[in-house]
Amino acid sequence: MSDPVIIGTKNKKGQIITDPRIMMNEAPRTPSFFTGSEVIKEAVRRANVDVMVAYPITPQSEAAALCGELFAEGYIGDYFRGESEFAVMSQCAGAAFGGARVFTTTAGPGTMRAMENFPMWAGSRLPIQCIVTCRGINSPLSIQPDTIEIAYLMNTGMLVWHAETAQDFYDWILKGYVVSEEPDVHLPLALCCDGFFVTHTKDVVDLTPVDMCLPPYDPYRSPVPCMDMECPPVRMMRDPFVMKSNYISYATHASWQQEVWAAAERSRKHTIAWLDGLIEIEDGDAAVLIISSGTAVSQGREAIRLLADEGVRVGLVKVKTLRPWPEEELREATKHASHIIVPEFNVIGWMAKEIKATIPRSERVVAGPRVCGGMTLPPEVIVEEVKKAIGMRSGVLAGRGG
Amino acid sequence: MSLDYVKFSPGFESFMPKEYRDMVEHGPFGKKTTVSQMGNFKEILEEHPMCAGCAMTLFIRLAIVAFPNPEDTITVGTAGCGRLAISQAAIPFVYGNYGDQNGVASGLSRGLRIRFGDKPKDVVVMAGDGGTADIGFQQVLHSWFRRERFTTIMLDNEVYGNTGGQESGMTTRGAVLKMAPLGKKFEKMDMVAMAKIAGCAYIATVVPNNPRRVESCIKKAVLIAREVGPTYIQAYTSCNIEYAIPTDQVMADAKAVEDDRYKFAEYVSEDAKAYLSERYGYKEFAQKPVAAITNV
Residue-wise DSSP of A307-361: HHHTT--EEEEEE-EEES--HHHHHHHTTT-SEEE--BSSSS-HHHHHHHTTSSS
**Residues on chain B touching A116 (C-beta within 8 angstroms):** 97-98
Distance CA B138, CA A82 (A): 11
**Residues on chain A touching B27 (C-beta within 8 angstroms):** 233
Q: Which of B71, B78, B104, B121 is the best substitution to test chain A (most A C-beta atoms within 10 A)?
A: B104
pLDDT at A232: 62
Which residues 352-391 in chain A show a CB within 8 A of chain B?
Answer: none
Distance CA A249, CA B148 (A): 36
Which residue from A93, A99, A100 is facing B96, i.e. has the nearest CB? A93
CB pairs under 8 A between A and B: 151
Average pLDDT over residues B188-199: 98
Strand blocks (E) in A154-278? 159-162, 189-194, 202-207, 212-213
Which residue from B2, B109, B138 is facing A87, i.e. has the nearest CB? B138
pLDDT at A253: 84
CA distance B96 to chain A (A): 7
Is the predicted ipTM greater than 0.90, yes or no?
Answer: yes
Domains A16-221 and A279-390 share a fold: yes
- For chain B, say whether A122 makes contact (Cβ under 8 Å): no
Contacts of B108 (CB under 8 A, 6+ apart): A94, A95, A97, A98, A227, B74, B76, B94, B123, B150
Cα angle A356, A359, A365 (rounded to 5 degrees) comes to: 45
Q: Which of B8, B109, B112, B140 is the best substitution to test chain A (most A C-beta atoms within 10 A)?
A: B112
**Residues on chain A touching B105 (C-beta within 8 angstroms):** 94
pTM here is: 0.94
pLDDT digits (tens, 9 = 90+) for B39-97: 999 999 988 889 999 999 999 999 999 999 999 999 999 999 999 899 888 888 999 89
Cα angle B102, B108, B111 (rounded to 5 degrees) comes to: 145
Q: Phi then psi for B212, rounded to 5 degrees?
A: -65, -35
For chain A, what are the domain ranges? 16-221, 279-390
Record: contact A234-B90, CB cut-off 8 A: yes
Residues in chain B: 296
Cα angle B233, B235, B241 (rounded to 5 degrees) comes to: 155
pLDDT bracket for residue B176 (50, 70, 90): very high
Record: contact A100-B49, CB cut-off 8 A: no
pLDDT at A240: 54
CA distance B228 to chain A (A): 18
Q: Which of A227, A239, A241 is the best substitution to test chain B (most B C-beta atoms within 10 A)?
A: A227
Q: Is the dihedral of CA A168, A170, A176, A179 positive or negative?
A: negative
**Residues on chain B touching A53 (C-beta within 8 angstroms):** 107
pLDDT bracket for residue B18 (50, 70, 90): confident
- For chain B, say whether A225 makes contact (Cβ under 8 Å): yes
Pick the closest to residue A284 from A309, A268, A298, A304 (CA basis).
Answer: A304
pLDDT reading at B147 higher than 70: yes
- Chain A residue whose CA is closest to B75: A227
- DSSP structural state of residue A362: G
Record: contact A120-B97, CB cut-off 8 A: yes
pLDDT at A238: 45
**Residues on chain A touching B2 (C-beta within 8 angstroms):** 230
Q: Which of B8, B26, B31, B115 is the best substitution to test chain A (most A C-beta atoms within 10 A)?
A: B115
Element spanning B156, H or E: strand B151-156
Class of residue A72 by CB neighbours under 10 A (exposed 0-12, middle 13-18, buried 19+): exposed
**Residues on chain B touching A87 (C-beta within 8 angstroms):** 100, 103, 138-139, 142
CA dist A108 → A58, A115, B174 (Å): 8, 11, 42
CA distance B142 to chain A (A): 7
pLDDT digits (tens, 9 = 90+) for B237-289: 999 999 999 999 999 999 999 999 999 999 999 999 999 999 999 999 998 76
pLDDT at A135: 96
- Chain B residue whose CA is closest to A241: B84
pLDDT digits (tens, 9 = 90+) for A258-303: 999 999 999 999 999 999 999 999 999 999 999 999 999 999 999 9
Q: Which CATH class is domain A279-390?
A: alpha beta
pLDDT at A244: 66
Contact of B27 with B44, CB cutoff 8 Å: yes
pLDDT reading at B1 higher than 80: no
pLDDT at B22: 87
Beta bridge partners of A202: A35
Which percentage of chain B shows pLDDT scores above 90? 81
Mean pLDDT, all residues of chain B: 93
CA distance B66 to chain A (A): 17
Domain made up of B64-285: CATH architecture: 3-Layer(aba) Sandwich (3.40)
CA distance A210 to chain B (A): 23
Which residue from B94, B115, B138 is facing A83, i.e. has the nearest CB? B138
Residues A16-221: name the CATH superfamily: Thiamin diphosphate (ThDP)-binding fold, Pyr/PP domains (3.40.50.970)
**Residues on chain A touching B114 (C-beta within 8 angstroms):** 50-51, 77-78, 100
- The ranges of chain A with pLDDT < 50 are 1, 236-238, 401-402
Record: contact A117-B139, CB cut-off 8 A: no
- Which of helix, strand or coil describes residue A220? helix
